[in-house]
């Protein structure tokens, strides 16, 4: 129970990787709030969290400044403090660049990158100490055909992680996780063409990871064992990127 007494907020925590991170932080003793734009899966996640800890589900779109500030106000009013922020909320849209509409490009950047900026700013305005953990992607290093907005947003999140790590040291530690292919609604072998699947399988471990693989790294970065680590981006990727 490394995180006893800590309060965590996970963006996009209703399903997939965010849900696994929220549950893992709760298992380590943290009180956990999570946000999501759509209530459908949030109730089930909230019920699971409440078996482990004090938990709060907050409907909020991370791309909206007022909603993000309101979400942090709600966390402060419920728990009185905030120690850990996991910027996990993200969306993926695929299209060849020639056919990508400006609105589609802007929406991906708004959720993935502006959302990470807005939540990080709101966090820093409310605490002097803590941890920020940003969920990037191995595609932020590798690039991927027909994913211009997504890969650009993830590369930018890695750069933002390094800047915030410098700016907020020594009291707030900022790190990123760059997952490889993880089996969730966003990426599943069943929904892929054979060509796409072949690309994702061309790694040393030749399989998809599970959300819990990312959650284990998030717990490490949220806890006392990582006290001397900031500005890093950890690949949890089956070997897709080696740095």
Coil vs helix vs strand at 11: strand
Shortest Cβ 109–ligand NAP spacing (Å): 12
- Picking from 116, 65, 54, the residue whose alpha carbon sits closest to that of residue 90 is 116
Q: Is 71 exposed, middle or buried (0-12, 13-18, 19+ CB in 10 A)?
A: buried
CB-based contact 238:204 (threshold 8 Å) = yes
Q: Compare residues 53 and 88 and give the one whose CB is closer to ligand NAP.
A: 88
Shortest Cβ 203–ligand NAP spacing (Å): 12
- Say how far apart CA 239 and CA 243 lie, in whole Å: 10
Shortest Cβ 207–ligand NAP spacing (Å): 12
Chain contacts with ligand NAP (rule: CB under 6 A): 11-12, 14-18, 35-38, 41, 61-63, 88-91, 111, 135, 137, 179, 181-182, 184-187
Q: Which one of 150, 164, 184, 217 is the catalytic residue?
A: 150
Paired sense of beta strands 84-87 and 55-59, if any: unpaired
Is 220 noted as a catalytic residue in this protein?
A: no
CB-based contact 183:240 (threshold 8 Å) = no
Q: Which residues are the active-site residues?
A: 150
């Amino acid at each position: 129970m490394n995180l006893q007494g800590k309060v965590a907020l996970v963006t996009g925590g209703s399903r997939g990787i965010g849900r696994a991170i929220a549950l893992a932080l709760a298992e380590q003793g943290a009180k956990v709030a999570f946000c999501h734009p759509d209530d459908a899966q949030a109730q089930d996640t909230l019920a699971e969290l409440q078996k482990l800890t004090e938990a709060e589900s907050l409907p909020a779109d991370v791309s909206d400044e007022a909603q993000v500030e309101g979400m942090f106000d709600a966390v402060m009013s419920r728990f009185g403090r905030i120690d850990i922020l996991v910027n996990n909320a993200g969306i993926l849209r695929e299209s060849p660049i020639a056919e990508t509409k400006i609105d589609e490009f802007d929406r991906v950047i708004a959720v993935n990158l502006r959302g990470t900026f807005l939540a990080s700013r709101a966090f820093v305005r409310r605490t002097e100490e803590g941890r920020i953990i940003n969920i990037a992607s191995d595609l932020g290093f590798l690039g991927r055909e027909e994913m211009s907005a997504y890969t650009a947003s993830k590369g930018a999140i890695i750069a933002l992680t390094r800047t915030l790590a410098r700016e907020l040291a020594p009291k707030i530690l900022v790190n990123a996780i760059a997952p490889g292919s993880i089996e969730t609604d966003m990426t599943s072998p069943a929904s892929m063409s054979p060509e796409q699947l072949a690309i994702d399988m061309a790694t040393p471990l030749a399989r998809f990871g599970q959300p819990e693989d990312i959650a284990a790294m998030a717990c490490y970065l949220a806890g006392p064992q990582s006290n001397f680590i900031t500005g890093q981006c950890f690949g949890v990727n089956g070997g897709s990127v080696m740095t």
